[in-house]
Structure 1
Amino acid sequence: MSTVGAIVLPQLPPERLLDAARAADEAGLDELWLWEDCFWTSGLSAAAAILGATTRVRVGVGLLPVPLRNVALTAMEIATLERMFPGRAIIGVGHGVQSWMGQVGERVASPLTLLREYTTALRALLRGDRLTVTGRYVKLDDVALDWAPVDTSVHVGASGPKTLRLAGEVGEGTLLTAATSPAELTTLKARIDEGHAAAGRTGALPVVVNVLAATGPDALDRVTRELHRFGDSPDAPVTDLAVTGDAGEVAAGLRRWFDAGATTVLLQPALDEPDPVGFLRFAAREVAPLLR
């Protein structure tokens, strides 16, 4: 089944977050995703508050920058959420923005090595394993969770070819950023599948992709400005990187990402979205039913 979710950007003040989440929950949104961007809001504390204030929406954090967080602490936090709100939390991990990691003194020499060690250990702890690990970055001495979750999964955020392969090797799903065209998604998914096969793993992995979206009379102008914030000039046409228009037009555009291999598409608002709560309702009530 194609899953349509939406993103609440960290630029939304924390005091407005619960009202937005309740509106998304009441509107029937399947998944509401948060970012842990420096230095805006904490992903896990915000997720916990939303889960406690809603009844059905699944809450994703995409993603937790692993240099910032000890792996045992992250496992404890994820396990707590899963035990309290079974099946409703989706957690992604990744490198984090390297300049931000440098600002807080946590930039590492080999982000790929850290992500491999971290994701492998995190998944094992969440399975209930007892670990002693002496890696380059991850070091654990006889560590196990007393309250391991019944079931959980760890997604890996990826963009470069090596990280994409790693996501296929050690992740239980992959998160892809906005400004990924459907054609590029096909190529990226092939990298993920290569890593998946090389690790001897079977079964399809979820692929979650953010897609910039806007509705209203100035929608195209707003997504165009947003895409230029990602870089000097997008290589692909705007229509290959974003969706705009009414619900029918947005749904038709999103089908291209599903056809290219996405299992979940998250509508990402522009920074100048005039009505963040209305955007969530639009995604839930008008767009998602057209794709179910």
Structure 2
Amino acid sequence: MIRFGMLLSAPMPPLDKVMNIAAMGEEGGMASLVVPDHTLMVPPGFTPSALSILSALAVKTRKVMLGTGVTDVVRYHPSVLAQFFATIDHLSSGRAFLGLGAGEAMNIVPFGLDWRMPYTALREGIEIMKRLWKGERVTFEGKRFRLRNAFLQIKPVQPSIPIYLGANGSKTRELAGEMCEGWMPIAETPETYRKNLRDVARGCEKAGRSLDEVDTALQIYTAIDPDPEKAMKKAWQFGGVIIGAVEKAEQAGYQLELPEDFSRKFYFEKLLVEDEMLMKFVKLSGLVTEEMVRDFFIVGTPEECIDRIEEFRRAGVRHFMIINIGPDPKYVLKVYAEKIIPAFS
């Protein structure tokens, strides 16, 4: 079964409009609402607390899954996330999921947070949260976390909160297959998704699981318009996400002439605290071609977008988490509700 969800992406409009957009998405057949958890955001703008927004959505919606896309165990201790998502699960009558990642430099480095051993912290955090959700008293001696007879006084409505890993590297993709209920990367082409899904499958095999036990999702930008050139013009403005995923662009066969000192980690550590670096990033985004945007995004007329979604479906995507960047966002939602979702039902 193919499902569609929607990211309520920062920078955001005023929060009353966010609630209205969420309601439109649910009414239009979206299966999930995803809130990116950022302290700082590129491009800069209004960036409220994702966890607070989820609390509001839990009581404003009735059917959709609700989760982050993604949060981390650097800014929040695993016990804090475990308690929060168990609470959201009660508020939403069992509709919470936890989108999790290793952390992003823009949210961590400027604030002086301890980011040692990110993979280790992620793996330990997943184990701790799963044990706490089961109602265990947890004693844990890890390299990043230590708990002594720790427990929660709330359990989720679900047997456990599904964890979706926003894994964009081979090691974390394998972890998604080994320990998590979903994989939700960003910036993939059908070709790279098909290849990278093998890492998830390898993790499943390692844990004695079937890949069918993992919800294979994708966060993906979408711009739809009766005029395909108009849709492309708007989508191209968001091409910087491909620069931020330069390894996948290369994996897809694109060669970007980037500065020798470029690395995703280097740029994203300084992007929001140094104006010069932000301007360099904007300039680099101009290297992204329409062909690349068409390969990484869902863009064009409704018919073209249905064909594009089918390519991603054949690559293994079962849950499309769209980021609506259309020239007319209401038109995009209407197309998904009336044409795209029914076409894949």
1:127-173, Cα deviation, whole Å (9 max, x unpaired): 22221112111221112222211322111111011111122222121
| Aligned with 1:221 (options 208, 233, 244) | 233
Deviates more, 1:83-92 or 1:127-136: 83-92
The structural deviation recorded for 1:241 is 0.9
The structural deviation recorded for 1:115 is 0.5
Matched with 2:140 is 133
Based on CA coordinates, which of the two structures has the bigger radius of gyration?
A: 2
TM-score, with length taken from structure 1:
0.91
| Aligned with 1:181 (options 183, 189, 199) | 189
Letter in 1 for 2:236: T
Matched with 2:335 is 282
1:161-197, Cα deviation, whole Å (9 max, x unpaired): 11111222221211111x2001100111100111121
The structural deviation recorded for 1:30 is 1.9
Structure 1: which 5+ residue stretches go unaligned?
A: none
Matched with 2:248 is none
Deviates more, 1:87-96 or 1:280-289: 280-289
Whether the 8 Å contact between 1:257 and 1:265 is mirrored in structure 2 is no
The structural deviation recorded for 1:210 is 1.4
State the identity as a percent.
25
Matched with 1:101 is 108
1:62-111, Cα deviation, whole Å (9 max, x unpaired): 11122000111111111111122233222211112124211122242211
Tell me, in whole angstroms, the C-alpha distance in 2 between the residues paired with 1:108 and 1:19.
36
Whether the 8 Å contact between 1:161 and 1:191 is mirrored in structure 2 is yes
- What does 1:144-223 correspond to in 2, within 5 Å? 144-151=151-158, 152-177=161-186, 179-202=187-210, 204=212, 205-216=214-225, 217=227, 218-223=230-235
Structure 2: which 5+ residue stretches go unaligned?
A: 41-46, 244-283
Q: For the aligned residues, what is the CA RMSD?
A: 2.0
Tell me, in whole angstroms, the C-alpha distance in 2 between the residues paired with 1:49 and 1:120.
28
The structural deviation recorded for 1:246 is 3.0
Matched with 2:70 is 63
TM-score, with length taken from structure 2:
0.78
The structural deviation recorded for 1:45 is 1.4
The structural deviation recorded for 1:278 is 4.5
Q: What secondary structure, in the 3-state scheme, does the structure 2 residue paired with 1:207 have?
A: strand
Tell me, in whole angstroms, the C-alpha distance in 2 between the residues paired with 1:168 and 1:77.
24
Whether the 8 Å contact between 1:51 and 1:85 is mirrored in structure 2 is yes
Q: How many residue pairs get matched?
A: 289
| Aligned with 1:120 (options 127, 132, 140) | 127
Tell me, in whole angstroms, the C-alpha distance in 1 between the residues paired with 2:130 and 2:333.
31
Letter in 2 for 1:97: E
- What does 1:238-249 correspond to in 2, within 5 Å? 238-249=293-304
